[in-house]
């Protein structure tokens, strides 16, 4: 609060008290208890400590489990704290019961910020489209496609399960695990 504002509040309080006492026919000066906040001395400014320069290595493991058979794919990105990175892989496969190639792809966009020396704020967007299986249940199922956005804190070197999703057509599940490791530049 500014000094002028505080003075205005005190003056208004005093005038209200004087008017009330005059209406009541009292001569004695009013006793006013101060409710105004006294200005505090400004706190000394502490210089923000700069975070040391660091790189963060992200290891993303996508595990696609079809009929109980897990298949893992690992992507690795190294970027500076406060930086961004991306990986794109595409391809196609010929599948049983199809006479044309089916597209498959993985796309990852990531952003990392070092919050503490061993704590990383991660933001991850990924898209994963794998070839479908021509199991007995769904011979002509479209390729499974998973698109997700995840923001989480990760301790350096610790693996965290960030998502698990199920295919709406088959018994396939897709899990994504993330490890963020702080590296010296």
The CA distances from residue 8 to 22, 33, 36, in Å, are 21, 16, 10
40, 168 contact by CB (below 8 A):
no
Which pLDDT score is estimated for 94?
78
Which pLDDT score is estimated for 105?
87
Other beta carbons less than 10 A from residue 123's beta carbon: 14
Question: Structural domain boundaries of the chain?
Answer: 1-40, 55-133+140-183
Query: What are the structure tokens assigned to 135, written together?
Result: 């199991």
Instruction: Give the separation between CA 78 and CA 57, rounded to whole angstroms.
Output: 4
- Candidates 72, 131, 73, 144; CA nearest to 100 is 131
Instruction: Give the separation between CA 53 and CA 31, rounded to whole angstroms.
Output: 61
The CA distances from residue 89 to 33, 112, 145, 175, in Å, are 73, 21, 14, 18
75-127 pLDDT, tens per residue?
999 999 999 999 998 888 777 666 777 778 889 999 999 999 999 999 999 89
120, 56 contact by CB (below 8 A):
yes
Which pLDDT score is estimated for 83?
93
The pTM of this model reads 0.64
9-36 pLDDT, tens per residue?
555 565 565 565 556 666 555 555 555 5
Which pLDDT score is estimated for 170?
77
Sheet holding 69-80, edge to edge: 69-80, 55-66, 173-183, 159-166
């Amino acid at each position: 609060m500014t000094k002028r504002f505080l003075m205005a509040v005190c003056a208004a309080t005093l005038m209200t008290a004087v008017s009330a006492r005059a209406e009541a026919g009292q001569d004695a000066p009013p006793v006013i208890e101060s409710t105004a906040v006294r200005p505090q001395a400004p706190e000394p400014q502490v210089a923000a400590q700069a975070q040391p320069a660091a790189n963060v290595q992200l290891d993303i493991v996508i595990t696609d489990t079809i009929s109980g058979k897990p298949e893992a794919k690992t992507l690795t990105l190294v970027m500076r704290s406060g930086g961004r990175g991306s990986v794109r892989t595409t391809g196609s496969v010929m599948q049983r019961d199809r006479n044309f190639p089916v597209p498959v792809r993985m796309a990852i966009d990531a952003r990392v910020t070092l919050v503490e020396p061993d704590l990383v704020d991660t933001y991850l967007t990924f898209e994963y489209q794998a070839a479908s299986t021509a199991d007995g249940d769904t011979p002509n199922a479209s390729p499974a496609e998973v698109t997700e956005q995840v923001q989480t804190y990760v301790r350096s070197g610790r693996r965290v399960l960030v998502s698990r999703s199920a295919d709406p057509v088959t018994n396939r599940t897709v899990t994504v695990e993330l490890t963020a490791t702080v590296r010296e530049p």
